[in-house]
Amino acid sequence: MSDPASRTTPRTFGFVNWTLRPDLDDDAPPTLHSFRCLTLTENDTACAAASEPSADPAEQQSWAFDHMRRNPEHTSYAEVIERPWVMWRHQGPA
């Protein structure tokens, strides 16, 4: 054992492993999409206008078209995706 704590712990615990995985459970939070404008303005800073996060990617693309209609030179965007992940605890080999 390389973990110093394991040498001083008076009781023995079974190994517990954690796995980080996308949360696909029915009650998991939704995956959210948003768009952010990457267009540089005249003073070389990003416009940074962004849509509200939504579970519907098509809604976000509508936001980008609306933004470009108001700002015809703003043609560069990033999609930001928030995907729920969860730590899953399981017993490892004894």
**Chain contacts with Zn ion (rule: CB under 5 A):** 37, 39, 47, 49, 71, 74
Q: Which is nearer to Zn ion, 31 or 53 (CB)?
A: 53
Q: Which is nearer to Zn ion, 31 or 39 (CB)?
A: 39
Q: Which is nearer to Zn ion, 33 or 74 (CB)?
A: 74
Q: How far is the CB of 65 from Zn ion (least distance, A)?
A: 12
**Is residue 36 a contact partner of residue 77, using CB atoms and an 8 Å limit?**
yes
What radius of gyration do the chain's Cα atoms show? 23
Q: How far is the CB of 3 from Zn ion (least distance, A)?
A: 50
β-bridge partners, 91: 16
Q: How far is the CB of 50 from Zn ion (least distance, A)?
A: 9
Contacts of 77 (CB under 8 A, 6+ apart): 35, 36, 37, 38, 64
